Structure 1
Amino acid sequence: MRKGSIAASLFWLSAGWLVLALVATGFLLTDLYSRALDNSLSETLQFHVESLAGAVLKTGDPMSEEITLTDPRFGRPRSGWYWAIYDADGKLYNLSTSLVGIDLPPLSGVPDQFGRRTAVLDDDFGTQMRVVERTVTVAPNTYQIVVTGNLSEILMLVGNFRGQAFIVLGAVGVMLAIMSAIVARFAMRPIARLSAAIESVREGESVSVTGTYPREIAPLAEEVNELLRSNAQIIERARNQVGNLAHGLKTPIAVLRNEAGSSKGALADVVLSESEKMSSMVSTYLDRARLAARTAVVGKRTDANMVMARLSRVMDKIHGDVSVTFHQPDALLPWFRGDEADLEEMAGNLLDNACKWSNGHVDVRLSSDRGDTGTMLLIRIDDNGPGLSEDDAQKVLRRGVRLDEKTPGSGLGLDIVKELVDVYGGSLALKRSALGGLLVELRLPTARLGGMAKS
């Protein structure tokens, strides 16, 4: 799950709440367990107090040997479990074996409606105790019965329970976190499938978004398909309008040129000159509109290896005195993401120029070039001709510029190539070749390698 993704956001949000819930659950369980043990201890002590009070009332003598408790903890020294009987002046009458040699600290506070007082005290050994005291009257005397229980043992049990509870809750939290990650990943699968379907359209593997999606994102898939249909309709209308405009303008301009050409005088010369400019401008902008409309179509891709091999064979036959060598790539290359006719126009112009200017040899190579914008298709065309200087390399990319009027051509080829390259988001560079002539490097966007097997 990448940072910033919906799945990651869902995971961290659920994980955060899960941690808070488990920590709160751990403290709540510990508190409930502590209260339960403390209540149990208090009830046990009250039972012992009532047992001693009953024995005192039965015997009438607080010093009687019949007054005792069967719990063996009251017979173990320093156990924290003690009992004693005092009179109102604090005189000791009876005590448990565990209390021998130990003085219990006095209690303070007001007794409850049953004549009992409770407190938490420490004995001489630092053991924390829960203390319950009750007043018993055996006429004419009043006695205080005190029973203590070891509270330190309870606190130790609570601490052990807390540690074990957090270990168990931690393990549960890990399992729930894993489940949350799995749920988030599975919940995002339809979005991943939709993304793959859109990528398939962009790479030319499909003409529309296909598949069945949950109702939450099904409208998105439908809107994407509608957008693709609308885009195709707009492009088709633009093509028709460009064609209509071409036919509508070319005929009047041709008439003007013919009439001006058949006449003499300053006016005819001006009309002829301006009509030539209009014809050039119309041709330029119509070409650009045609290129923009053609390359705006989503879902086209071309096997550049096949196209370049075919163009190399054609140019080798057309230019009989030039040897065109196509170096077959060693590895499987990604396809060009665009129209096959556009690739032929770009590569054909470049290869034709290389053959015209070479001294008999042209090399063509294909490779992948990984740059800042991702993997690009690199077409390299080397010739052993005279080459170009840096200034001349910039000039020849301008529309209609030719450095040698003797070589046949209009001078528009490289400019058309440059416009197509710009429309596709590629790049065109003219450099010095290792063969001594010109090296042309054409970089173009690529389609996914995985889509090639489906074509």
Structure 2
Amino acid sequence: MKPGSLRLRLIAGGIVAILIALSIAGLGLTVLFQRHVTRTLTDDLDVHLRQLIAGIDVGPQGELVVTRPPADPRFADPLSGLYWQVEGASGQLLRSRSLWDMTLKLPPDALSPGDTHIHELWGPAHTRLLVAERSIVLSGGGRNPSARIAVAVDLGRVAAATVAFGKDLAIALGLLALVLAIATSIQVGLGLRPLDSLRRGIADIRAGRRSDLPAAVPAEVQPLVEEVNALLEAQAGEIERSRGRAADLAHGLKTPLAALASDVARLRESGQDAVASDIEAVGEAMSRHVDRELALARVRGRVRLRPDVFTALAPLARALVATLSRTPAAQHLSFEIDIADTAMAPFDRTDLAEVLGNLLENAVRHARTRVRISGGGDNAAIHVEDDGAGIAESELPLVLERGVRLDERGGAGLGLSIVQDVLAAYNWRLTLTRSALGGVKATIAPEGVKL
């Protein structure tokens, strides 16, 4: 995924939301667990408190006596974390063995008999204690003494249990986050699949495999598809109108150019060769421009309408060579055709003839004795070579620029420009290199094919 992509943003946003939600949930669960453990300890303290109250009695002199202490053995273990203390109104103090020689410093508190109060305070060894206390009034020995009874437990158990629970919860939430992240990625992929289908559909349209986007898409994407299809329809209509206007313009110029050629002939007959040559050069340049516009008007939009068209390469090459062989410039040349009879090129015949015709004309113009056309094999590349003087490596890129010529043997420098325009419509390209024959090797091949 590329930085800034919609998929990456959605997945990253989903993961961040999952992490925030799980973090809040983890914190909340930890707090709830701590409260639950604290409530459990409070219930246990209440049980110990009842046991302690049940075991308190009044002695013969009215003193407080614990006849039956709580049964939990931790009360007898020094600093065990579980303590009890009984404080009489007269200052008498009774305490569990676990307190050793220390005292629970209970806060000042007005207790009604029978009420239980819960406190947190510091206890032995600087531990935090949870304390449950109650005030009672005893009867016996002719007296009714009161007592303040407290039972305490070390909250370190709560902290340890909370930490252990937090560790286990973190592992569980981490696994849950991983599962949810994977699910989010899958969900985003499924949600964006219609957009990926649109991308492939647009690629098919650009490649000429279809003319519009499929209508079977989710309702959320339907308006986009309808707008794109409407745009494609409008564009196709505009292209068709542009082709018609360009063709009309080019055909309209053909007749004046033919008349201009007749005027050139008459000027030559009257002895005005210089003027005739100038007009002829201008006429040829205009004719090349007209030919180029006709070729572009013909090829524009054709690839999209007929993506599966193919032309037999060898018969076309033989027909072009046969035509060129009868021209004065090619009468002294020998032509070699090294193309299999089964070779096919993914071009309309007229467009391929336009391309190969221009390349062969250039080769004939510069060749000394030989012109060779070959290719059409596994990589589909087609080569046109000559044994002329060739072109310097530094000047080869200049030849492919529109209107640029490196010699003075006629033409307007648009032949290779026409070739490139036609090839671009079919997603092919033209390259020029040094030929083994000594001249230039012009190669046409699909984009992306290594030569």
Structure 1 residues 50 and 324: CA distance shift in structure 2, 3 A = same
Aligned length: 426
Counterpart for residue 104 of structure 1: 103
- The equivalent position to 1:325 in structure 2, one of 321, 335, 338, is 338
Match of 1:182 in 2: 186
Give the letter for the 1:81 counterpart. Answer: L
Bigger shift: residues 319-328 or 64-73: 319-328
Q: Does 1:350 align with 2:352?
A: no
What letter corresponds to residue 107 of structure 2 in structure 1?
Answer: S
Matched residue, 1:11? 11
CA 1:59–1:198 in structure 2 vs 1: closer, same or farther (change >3 Å)? farther
2:148 is the counterpart of 1:144: yes
1:440 corresponds, among 420, 442, 445, to 442
**What is the CA distance between 1:404 and its match in structure 2?**
7.3
Moved more, 227-236 or 193-202: 227-236
Q: How does 1:273-352 map to 2 (within 5 A)?
A: 283-297=287-301, 299=304, 301=307, 308-314=313-319, 319=325, 321-326=334-339, 341-352=350-361
1:164 is displaced (CA, Å) by 1.0
Q: Under a length normalisation based on structure 1, what TM-score does the superposition of the two structures give?
A: 0.75
Contact 2:75 2:83 (C-alpha < 8 Å) held by counterparts: yes
1:284-321 deviations in whole A, cap 9, x for unaligned?
A: 554444344445426255788x6554544445666583
1:201 aligns with 2:205: yes
Letter of the 2:356 partner, please give it. A
**Structure 2 gaps, min length 5:** 326-332
Q: Distance in 1 between matches of 2:264 and 2:359?
A: 37
What is the rounded CA distance, in whole Å, between the counterparts of 1:328 and 1:106 in structure 2? 110
Name the CA shift for 1:148/1:288 in 2 (closer, same or farther; >3 Å): same
What is the deviation of 1:181?
A: 0.8
SS in structure 2 at match of 1:64: strand
CA distance in 2, matches of 1:379, 1:2: 37
Q: TM-score with structure 2 length normalisation?
A: 0.76
Per the alignment, residue 213 of structure 1 pairs with 217
- Residue type of the partner of 2:161? L
Partner of 2:415: 416
2:338 maps to amino acid: T
TM-fit CA distance, 1:235: 2.0
Measured on the aligned residues, the alpha-carbon RMSD in Å equals 4.4
Aligned partner of 1:226 in structure 2 is 230
Measured in 2, the distance between the counterparts of 1:259 and 1:380 equals 39
Q: What's the offset of the Cα at 1:431?
A: 3.8
Contact 2:375 2:382 in 1 (8 A): yes
Q: Which structure is richer in relative contact order (CA contacts within 8 A, separation 6 or more)?
A: 1
Contact 2:284 2:411 in 1 (8 A): no
> 2:389 — aligned with what?
386
Which shows bigger deviation, 240-249 or 29-38? 240-249
> Residue type of the partner of 2:385?
D
The 3 A distance-change label for structure 1 pair 285 and 226 is: farther
Inter-partner Cα distance in structure 2 for 1:247 and 1:355? 28
Deviation at 1:400, TM superposition (A): 9.9
Cα distance between partner residues in 1 of 2:26 and 2:260? 93
CA shift digits 1:208-256 (9 cap, x unpaired) = 3235111111222222222222222222222222333345455466667
C-alpha distance in 2 between matches for 1:397 and 1:156: 81
Distance 2:44 2:227 in 1: 73
CA apart distance, 1:279: 5.2
Identity, in percent, stands at 28
> 1:250–1:279: 8 Å Cα contact kept in structure 2?
no
Work out the CA distance in 2 between the residues paired with 1:91 and 1:399: 118
Contact 2:400 2:416 in 1 (8 A): no
Question: What CA deviation, in whole Å up to 9, does each residue of 1:91-144 have, x standing for no partner?
Answer: 42x333433x341342334446647462232323x5542123334445564433
What's the counterpart of residue 88 of structure 2? Answer: 87
SS of residue paired to 1:201: helix
Q: Distance in 2 between matches of 1:411 and 1:253?
A: 15
2:32 matched residue in structure 1: 32
Name the CA distance, whole Å, in 2 between partners of 1:383 and 1:135.
119
1:41 alignment partner in structure 2: 41
